[in-house]
Amino acid sequence: MQPPRTSRAYTRVMLSIRSVLVAACVSLCLLLGATASAGAAEKGFWGPAEVNGVSQFPIYRSLGVTLYQTGLSWASIAPTRPANPTDPNDPAYRWPVAMDALIQEAREYKMRVLLMLVTSPPWANGGKAPMFAPSPKAYAQFATAAARRYPAVRQWMVWGEPTRAANFQPLVPQRIGRPLTARQAAAPKRYARILDAAYGALKGVRRSNVVIGGNTFSAGDIRPVKWVQHMRLPNGKRPRLDVYGHNPFTLRTPSLRNPPGAAETVDFSDLGRFQKVVNKAFGRRGRTTRRVPLFLSEFSVPTGLDGEFNFYTTRAKQAEFITKGFRIARQLKVHGLGWIHLYDAGPDDTGTRGGLIDVDGKRKPGFAAFRDGRL
């Protein structure tokens, strides 16, 4: 079974400013959306833009990063309902001051930015907490405003790991090995409506926008395959997307020759099988099935007692996992592969030990492995 992740640590990461992705040439299909970029696959990173006032972009550049990924918290940006929700200049919007400078700095280091649109304000979700599913229409209107506010951004991610009840509510956890009940299947269906509405909105602003949906991870309260299978609109059709997002965290050495993961999990070794599931769901076009690119937005391997994962391994093994992960990503011709966490937390911090640089500033072997990784 894959490692559980604490909602506190994960939410803190998701809502911090961190990331960038290359805008690519998109081939569009009215029913399915585009099949992603025709260019080179992207190396992504979720990490701090600066530390103690010092930019981290030179480090990302040395790692070969082409995509800096970061989140936009709708709940923080629009705590009150805008009168004109698709207009980014509506006075209700409080766009993060640092984002424009971040996007410009990324451009200077020949990177682009991916924005994840996450959380919802109470006025859009029935007065609930930020992780409650919003009205699809309201989410789409915010997506329109965000795309207009940040015209340089071409990569858009619709929510993060919605298969976790801590991230996307309401969600009734599945029972492993059993079909989803109607109540359990409601969450992926609800997410499908949000994704499809956001797709239409983002493409309405700019046809070259790339929409990344699904955004599962190796485990989840609803497992990835069942999430994909139940992502349907009220009319029975599939929501539109360009790229399917999945975070393939793993406890075992990545290899496509490994048997299926336990308890319906989908880790790095399962990606070949999962690619077929995704193609079948979202790649149908008449009687033919096309490949829908996978975007492996997050990958991390702790090398010490960790606040997010309940396992860790050696530094040498971390480097091996990274090297073999890149090999699988190349084989599958993914849209991109990203890493999360640049630095380890301090000895008195319960945070991550999955960084590529230890708390003393020493680069782990994993740093070189990621730097040398090819897609």
pLDDT digits (tens, 9 = 90+) for 159-193: 999 999 999 999 999 999 999 999 999 999 999 99
CATH no. of 7-372:
3.20.20.80
For residue 348, what pLDDT is reported? 79
**Based on the number of CB atoms within 10 Å of its own CB, is 288 exposed (0-12), middle (13-18) or buried (19 or more)?**
exposed
Measured CA to CA, the distance from residue 355 to residue 59 in angstroms comes to: 13
Beta-ladder partners of 173:
none
Mean pLDDT of 137-159: 98
Q: How many residues does the chain have?
A: 375
CA dist 181 → 161, 185, 191, 224, 226 (Å)? 20, 6, 16, 16, 11
Q: Which helix (H) or strand (E) holds 118?
A: strand 112-118
For residue 14, what pLDDT is reported? 37
Which residue is it, tokens 């399962």? 270
Q: Residue 114 pLDDT > 90, yes or no? A: yes
> Please, are residues 140 and 198 in contact by the beta-carbon 8 Å criterion?
yes
For residue 287, what pLDDT is reported? 76
Beta-ladder partners of 212:
157, 243
Q: Mean pLDDT in the chain?
A: 90
Measured CA to CA, the distance from residue 65 to residue 346 in angstroms comes to: 25
Residue 202 banded pLDDT, cuts 50, 70, 90: very high
- Three-class secondary structure of residue 4 per DSSP: coil
Q: End-to-end CA distance of the chain: give it in Å, rounded.
A: 28
Mean pLDDT of 350-367: 95
Q: Other CB atoms closer than 10 Å to residue 174's CB: what's the count?
A: 22
Going from N- to C-terminal start, the domains of the chain cover 7-372
pLDDT digits (tens, 9 = 90+) for 267-316: 999 999 999 999 999 998 777 889 999 999 999 999 999 988 989 999 99
- The amino acid that residue 309 corresponds to is F
Measured CA to CA, the distance from residue 304 to residue 353 in angstroms comes to: 5
Tell me if the bond preceding 259 is cis, omega within 30° of 0: no
Q: Residue 354 pLDDT > 70, yes or no? A: yes
Q: Residue 220 pLDDT > 60, yes or no? A: yes
Q: Other CB atoms closer than 10 Å to residue 176's CB: what's the count?
A: 12
For residue 157, what pLDDT is reported? 98
Residue 39 banded pLDDT, cuts 50, 70, 90: low
Q: Which helix (H) or strand (E) holds 12?
A: helix 7-14
